[in-house]
Structure 1
Amino acid sequence: MFVTQLLTLIKKDFLLEWRQKHTLFGVMLYVGCTVFVLYMMAGQPESRIWNALFWIAQLFVTVNTVAKSFLQEGEARTRYYFTIAAPVQYIIAKMVYSLAMMLVMMFISLVLFNVMLGSPLIRPAMYVGVCCLGASSLSLLFTFLSAIAAQARQNAALMAILGFPIAIPLLMILSNLALGAVSNVLQEGWWGMALMMLGMDVLIIALSVILFPFLWKE
């Protein structure tokens, strides 16, 4: 029953996204415009600058992609979900949906970066793996913060205020992890940083499962 309801909630989010195609295409347009502006301003930069620009762009793409996960839900619809689903199912479904959307947007960004800004990748498979790790970390973080902001009278600014101080260290770690894919020298402690990111993902999920039921009751 738990898994069936969870899959139903995930399917619901994807169906709503497909019916409101303008929001999905709007985010894609934002991604394309961001990469194009970076190309016009920086051309084809060297590998370290390329890597830094990529992760800075992903921060703002995440905010635009994940912010609406809770903020788009009206009060009446939220009360209806309260009657048909458990809070743990609801938050996990939102996280899975946000992760899937963020993976799509990050891979679109990666393709556009390689086409417009050149491809400095020496180890493409490693960079894709770091992108998957980054998409999971950023999407989980901002989904949880979106749930908090939704309870503060739909205050999207609160999500940015809470999220950026946490997201900046995440981006620094992800940028350092990704440097191993754009240079011939593999950094010491690479696996330690990767495990740290995975641990932070687990911590965010655990906090969400523990704390979201209290937000749900509010």
Structure 2
Amino acid sequence: MASSKKIIALFKKDLLLEIRQQYTFYGIVLYIACTVYVLFLAINEPDGSTWNALFWVNMLFISINAVAKSFLQESRGRMLYYYTLTSAQEFILAKLLYNILLMLVMSLLSLITFSFFLGGPFLHAGEFIGITILGGISMSLVFTLMAAIASRANQNAAIMVIMGFPVIIPQLLLLIRISKSAFGEIFKEGAVFQMVFLLGGLDVLVLALCMILFPFLWKD
């Protein structure tokens, strides 16, 4: 059984390290600002479909840069130390919680920056914010699992991208499709809820894989 106290302690450790170092945070903020500003200079105010596609592609690269660091920064000696203090389930749950929080912050920051420079062509702002939050959580779950696997393969970040590609592309296409409802596209009755339910099912599957596979990686 996972101990909530140990999970919270590990979560606080990652959060305090990020607050003290802030390399990831400011690096991603710079990436968002530069990317959106270049898009603003190139296309100024894109139409809804273009804006939506650019936003989610930007979110993809944000999630890769933000989440990959969570495991790749951990040295072998530090992982051995964690092994003596906590269980695999507690460790991976703490990482998932931290990466979800980080992606929520980055997702909302990206949405604000996009809206400021490129306008907000969506018709239902509240709906799109909800979809953005859901998308940030989904991407953080996928890349946390991929980063955990890559960390056990001699810190090879390329493995994370290669293994994550067939998983994240369907998820990304689903998010683009769902978010079109916020831009006024009409769907069949109940279609949007079905897609959200499918996305939630994918998230549960990834979470289950984390809980099942990570203990084997933990023992390596």
What band does the TM-score fall into relative to the shorter chain?
over 0.9
Q: Distance in 2 between matches of 1:26 and 1:82?
A: 30
Q: Distance in 2 between matches of 1:143 and 1:22?
A: 18
State the shift of 1:26 in Å: 1.2
Mark the runs of 5 or more structure 2 residues left unpaired by the alignment. Answer: none
Question: 1:57 is matched with which residue?
Answer: 58
Q: Distance in 2 between matches of 1:20 and 1:42?
A: 35
Partner AA of 1:53 in structure 2: L
Q: Distance in 1 between matches of 2:40 and 2:79?
A: 41
| CA gap 1:200/1:47 in 2 versus in 1, 3 angstroms | same
Decide whether the 8 Å contact of 1:71 with 1:150 is kept in 2.
yes
Alignment of 1:150-161 (within 5 A): 150-161=151-162
State the shift of 1:163 in Å: 1.0
Moved over 4 A (4+): none
Question: 2:79 is matched with which residue?
Answer: 78
Mark the runs of 5 or more structure 1 residues left unpaired by the alignment. Answer: none
Decide whether the 8 Å contact of 1:122 with 1:184 is kept in 2.
no
Q: Distance in 2 between matches of 1:168 and 1:184?
A: 22
Alignment of 1:53-132 (within 5 A): 53-132=54-133
Range that drifts further, 38-47 or 63-72: 38-47
Aligned-pair Cα RMSD in Å: 1.2
Identity rate, percent: 44
Among 198, 201, 207, the alignment partner of 1:199 is: 201
Decide whether the 8 Å contact of 1:180 with 1:187 is kept in 2.
no
State the shift of 1:162 in Å: 0.9
What SS does structure 2 have at the residue aligned with 1:67?
helix
**TM-score when normalising by structure 1:** 0.97
State the shift of 1:185 in Å: 2.5
State the shift of 1:105 in Å: 0.5
Q: Distance in 2 between matches of 1:63 and 1:194?
A: 22
